[in-house]
Structure 1
Amino acid sequence: MQEFPPPLALSAIVTTLRAAGCVFAEDEAALLCSTADGPTELAAMVDRRAAGLPLEHVLGWAEFCGLRIAVDPGVFVPRRRTEFLVRQAAALAPERAVVVDLCCGSGALGAALTASLSGAELHAADVEPAAVRCARRNVGDRGTVHEGDLFAPLPRTLRGRVDVLLANVPYVPTGDVALLPPEARIHEPRVALDGGGDGLDVMRRVAAEAAGWLAPGGSLLVEASERQAARAEEALGGGGLIPRVVVSDELYATVVIGTRPR
């Protein structure tokens, strides 16, 4: 087990992180100390974090749904609020579910969902090569990760068979990207953040094709902001799905679910 530095040294790390604007400096210092391989690596990690690199990129991992998910530099960091989407998906998944994770990033959603299911078949896809490499590490032998835009790289044999379609698409309006915290704006790929004019461009593309991939009774799950929920419902309904919105006040999460009629 990694030993922590002396209290005075730990205090100095906390002070450095707090001065850099880290709100949870004590918790972050503890994580850095427990992850670093020695004093030299610890000092380098503290410097990278103080310079604004996301904590998860410094550590090389993020905790998500009880799993330690590898997160490489330049890959979208899974947010805790998205655990709510995974829980909703788990409640809908049948036995031996066929699961697709679009815009998969690190592969966190698909990996977490299939870890909670028995005998699931998982396919994930992302357009970013760095994300695909990272997702393949996290998915491992649970499924297959494809490189390409949305549905394009998926096997055609999945059409009409997908029970759960996870699509954590970018949904930040283009005009709001500049308002994001520097950690996201600078260090995460813009393609994983920018959802177009009203934030729903990619979601509409997914909704337009989803019914052709879903099994009867299968569901598409997407995350949105509270103010986008009504338009997201319209998008899923326009794609031939029966839409509904579920909200977690605890996690400040809004998930829109569209189900293909049986």
Structure 2
Amino acid sequence: MSPARSFLALLCLPSTAALVAPRTRPARATALHADADAISDFCKGTNAFWKSLIIPVVRDYADVKPKGTADVDDFLSVVTAAPETPGIPRPVWLTIAASVPTGLIWYGWYKYSASSRQLFQYELETEGRVSGCGGYGTLFPFVFGVIIGGPLALVGFSGGDAILEAAGLWILLGQVNLYRRVNDCFPGEEPLHAWWALLPPPLDVVVGLRQVHFLSEFWKKERSLPAGGDAVAEKYFPFISAPRFTLKEFARTPSMWFWFTKDWDDFDVPILKD
């Protein structure tokens, strides 16, 4: 099975499982567990393969450490800390403050560390199997695809564009899957619409910021830390921390957009009603 099809199967699995009652369909439930195990094996194998290509000194630094390994009492310590499990909370304000000055380079580290790698290890320790390809298996196929496909496309090699497109598809499917996995951290109160990752800007940015916020809140809970405290997500851009909403609700509710629109009335437009 191709990587893209494997990821699509992964994305469809939770919704399929929800339609099946194990008590009345034991054979089907067993098949779903087998599928989950197969997906887990694929994800672990993919992560292990790409991890083997990384030089040892980088690999040793980037490997997941036990809780409390890093001193995370200040900004610099948090942004440079290696992944831990449970994960280190990295709120929206910190993610923006570290990403913008570095031209989003640090954001790549965040996607590897705070999202994919820590969730991968957390799933492995709590459930015994994983539903994502980890930091190595998610980020590095994209990186290598750009490094190889970019120059080939520039010199007119016919396969260069295909490699770039495959790399883009891989990272996009990884984003959708990441949002699904963050939702799994909030059973019954799923905060994200995972498919919004497929929407054009700025809506894909909206769900991306919400993922950063809610994953940070989840790690706070796992570490018994106080919830909240992120002014960017809770005060200045309240849509980031708002409960799950639809596209129409977002469009008609300016009070959740920005701090300076918080007192605006909702738009009474028929097309924006759910």
TM-score interval (norm. to shorter): under 0.3
Using the size of structure 2 for normalisation, the TM-score is: 0.21
Specify which structure has the higher proportion of helix: 2
Task: Give the TM-score, by structure 1 length.
Answer: 0.22
